[in-house]
Amino acid sequence: MIEFKNVSKIYNNNVHALKNVNVQIERGEFVFLVGPSGAGKSTFIKMLLKEIEPTSGNINNNGVDLATIKRAQIPYYRRKVGMVFQDFRLIANLSVYENVAFAMRVVGASSREMRKRVPTVLSLVGLSEKYKAFPNELSGGEQQRVSLARAIVNNPSLLIADEPTGNLDPETAKEIMELLDDINKAGTTILMATHAKDIVDMMKKRVIAIEKGTITRDEKRGRYEYED
């Protein structure tokens, strides 16, 4: 379970990015994080990744207290959190297989483990036949599938997706959401920040809305309800 308890964040320019946020996300949930630009979504994610610290309050992720975790343990904590971005962030001079294997190499996996796990994950995302291809030889949707494979290859308990469909056409975006839904059904908790109203409304998942640093809405089967 993820828990934010009385969490606030004030930046040096006196901007209150989050204000006394209290929220719980159960293991295995699929949650959309929505709100206007500048609402506090990125701050929420960065604090969950232990990239920035709250000004006050506590954050706990699956039993890990982020206020007391030692600096040396942070890289190990992040290994259990997969991350997918709008701009894919693939390594241009590595093949599809190598991009996914890289995530395993970082955590010290053996070559034998990589040979077993990487093909399995590439099959899951529908890219078994493209394992030798390089990012510039792939469509945007295929690149995002590689990004997803890389994010889940180490079996994270949490997958954070930050605008993962932002650079994709509607049909490809739908395919990526179906893939995320399958990953969630296999047991991975998913937190997705997005402005994509059509996707949020289509998926009918839990929606947490943030405005000006405050949670204004938390619905089990919510809608987007913003115009931007």
pLDDT digits (tens, 9 = 90+) for 188-219: 999 999 999 999 999 999 999 999 999 999 99
Rounded distance between C-alpha atoms, residue 193 and residue 32, angstroms: 6
Mean pLDDT of the chain: 93
Q: Total structural domains in the chain? A: 2
Within a domain: 53: yes
pLDDT in the model for residue 227:
63
Mean pLDDT, rounded, for 66-87: 90
Is residue 144 a contact partner of residue 164, using CB atoms and an 8 Å limit? yes
pLDDT digits (tens, 9 = 90+) for 134-159: 999 999 999 999 999 999 999 999 99
Domain end position, chosen among 102, 135, 155: 155
Mean pLDDT, rounded, for 74-83: 90
Report how far apart, in Å, the C-alpha atoms of 2 and of each of 56, 86, 93 are.
17, 23, 36
Query: Do both 115 and 167 map to the same domain?
Result: no
Instruction: Tell me the torsion sign for CA atoms 17, 23, 27, 33.
Output: negative
Q: What tokens does 157 get?
A: 């308990």
pTM of the model: 0.92
Asked whether residue 7 carries a pLDDT value surpassing 90, the answer given is: yes
Within a domain: 23: yes
pLDDT in the model for residue 210:
95
Instruction: Tell me the torsion sign for CA atoms 216, 86, 156, 30.
Output: positive
**Residue 124: pLDDT band with limits 50, 70, 90:** very high
CATH code, domain with 56: 3.40.50.300
Q: Give CB contacts under 8 A, 24+ apart, made by 10-14.
A: 10/55
pLDDT in the model for residue 56:
95
Within a domain: 129: yes
Domain end position, chosen among 135, 155, 175: 155
- Structural domain boundaries, residue 97: 92-155
